[in-house]
Amino acid sequence: MSIDHYENFPVASILCPPALRSAVAAIYWFARTADDIADEGEDDPTTRLAALADYRADLLATVSSSAVSPRWLQVFGALRKTLQAHALPPALLLDLLSAFEQDVVKHGYTDRAELLDYCRRSANPVGRLLLHLYGVHGAEPMRQSDAICSALQLINFWQDLGIDTRRGRLYVPATDCERFKMMPASLLQTRAETPAVRALVRELIGWARDLMLEGAPLVHAVPGRAGWELRLVVQGGLRILEKIEALNFGTLTARPSLRWHDAPLLLWRALWMRAPTAMVAKESA
């Protein structure tokens, strides 16, 4: 899977069903381009929000089969074909855009419910779009997909804690900071690996792991190669959590990532994921 730029999105990998690779790539490029508008470069927030408004207008034009601007013609040309071929729910794409717009102006979260609402729009639509492509429907698969996608988003937050705080962003809920007797502003300013910070990160990765394991049984409902790709996504997320633990939860100063030598372990763990529950990564180490 490719998570180098738009995190936690398996992009047209070798395990993706060939007939769906162009559709998955079209969704990816739509999301990645919006993410770039919101995050990359030196534009001020006003300019970013104006560009995202134009991007939203082009999405709505694509949905209604109207003409789009030439600015992102390649992105929306591919997306139009995917929408027509697979009848993707446009509301999920609009949810993604709302999360990118929020990232421009909101850099802190009060509690876990508020952060999960962000995940509902920034991550969960990706899983639901993929389930739509794979022909998997029903309330339980959707719930499990949301759990996996929210877990992946949270894992990315705790993995990137140092990067985000240097950019003035803190996804750690204020209520969690307060329980460990620290102020969010202090965490942003000092970025020191104190025992309290490490204990905080330890609890946060436990939250992410619980969510991931809650959703993991979905791997047995997704058919064929896509199901195997999902196994690797789940195990990849759990492996990142292991690496955070190996750093003694010190992600303010280090960023763990998956390497080529992790591949055999992930494949082994993916192979041994059994219904109805997934093997916890540690148990197969």
Q: CA 192, 99, 179 angle in degrees (round to 5)? A: 35
Which pLDDT does position 192 carry in this prediction?
83
Reading the block at residue 36, the tokens are 């770039």
CB 225 within 8 A of CB 17: yes
Give the DSSP H/E element, type plus range, for residue 36.
Answer: helix 21-39
Residues whose CB is less than 8 angstroms from the CB of residue 105 and which lie 6 or more positions away in sequence, other chains included: 45, 49
211 and 85 in one domain?
no
pLDDT band, very low/low/confident/very high, at 1 (cuts 50, 70, 90): very low
| CA 53/CA 94 separation, integer angstroms | 11
The rounded percent of the chain whose pLDDT value lies above 90 is 75
Domain termination site, one of 105, 130, 163: 105
272 and 232 in one domain?
yes
pLDDT band, very low/low/confident/very high, at 47 (cuts 50, 70, 90): very high
245 and 166 in one domain?
yes
163 and 59 in one domain?
no
Question: How crowded is residue 274: how many other Cβ atoms within 10 Å of its Cβ?
Answer: 11
155 and 215 in one domain?
yes
In a domain, 2, yes or no: no
pLDDT band, very low/low/confident/very high, at 146 (cuts 50, 70, 90): very high
Which pLDDT does position 190 carry in this prediction?
78
In a domain, 1, yes or no: no
Q: At residue 283, does pLDDT exceed 70?
A: no
Residue 182 sits in which domain range?
A: 106-284
Q: Tell me which of 96 and 271 has the higher pLDDT.
A: 96
CB 226 within 8 A of CB 17: yes
| CA 30/CA 33 separation, integer angstroms | 6
- Model pLDDT for residues 237-265, shown as the tens digit of each residue: 999 999 999 999 999 999 998 888 888 99
Q: At residue 148, does pLDDT exceed 80?
A: yes
| CA 92/CA 123 separation, integer angstroms | 10
Q: At residue 61, does pLDDT exceed 90?
A: yes
85 and 44 in one domain?
yes
Q: How many domains does the chain have?
A: 2
Helix axis angle, 195-215 to 224-246, nearest 10° = 160
pLDDT band, very low/low/confident/very high, at 278 (cuts 50, 70, 90): very low
Reading the block at residue 31, the tokens are 């999301």
Q: At residue 13, does pLDDT exceed 70?
A: no
Residues whose CB is less than 8 angstroms from the CB of residue 280 and which lie 6 or more positions away in sequence, other chains included: 213, 238
Q: At residue 281, does pLDDT exceed 70?
A: no
In a domain, 5, yes or no: no
Which pLDDT does position 95 carry in this prediction?
97
In a domain, 260, yes or no: yes
Which pLDDT does position 17 carry in this prediction?
79
